[in-house]
Structure 1
């Protein structure tokens, strides 16, 4: 049986550790572009800001217990979530990635996302 590998499990998101904060990032446009496709007429493009909007809804709806520990710093070409608590950030990204892989759950959350 293969051992669980966190960094493999969260791909295409990737983990970045520094002295005091930890980040999880995604190159925008490389993962699940079809999620954003069906709301493109509203201005969604699948950029870093759109991913942050989706992630905020995920936190509000699915993991409000993590909300005060997770912050976002998106850019047009990159989604980035960060925290000083690596365990909370790992919980967030593991749950968020699972939700992204479930088409019905991610569509439900995306309906509530607001363009940034």
Structure 2
């Protein structure tokens, strides 16, 4: 089963979901804007992705620019920012077992099947 951290308003996220559905994969869709991840869940997701927390941040979002841009933040503070403002989290993200990938481009999600 693949878990997809999904924002229905995002075209890349919708495309990733479509690709997973067409693959026949069983999918658990997590609408993370409605059900934000905890700090621990984000830390685990970042570890699975094998990236630094800043690499998961959408730095062009207004919430980032207004509250965090130009500040020297620790990894923990960056994760706290994504907990407080879930919209900052890059999407979509697919997780399959111990593998995770950011779906940009959307077809990337197929790499972990």
Asked if these proteins are the same fold (TM beyond 0.5), I'd say no
Normalised to the residue count of structure 1, the TM-score between the two structures is 0.33
Normalised to the residue count of structure 2, the TM-score between the two structures is 0.34
Q: Higher relative CO (CA 8 A, sep ≥ 6), structure 1 or 2?
A: 2
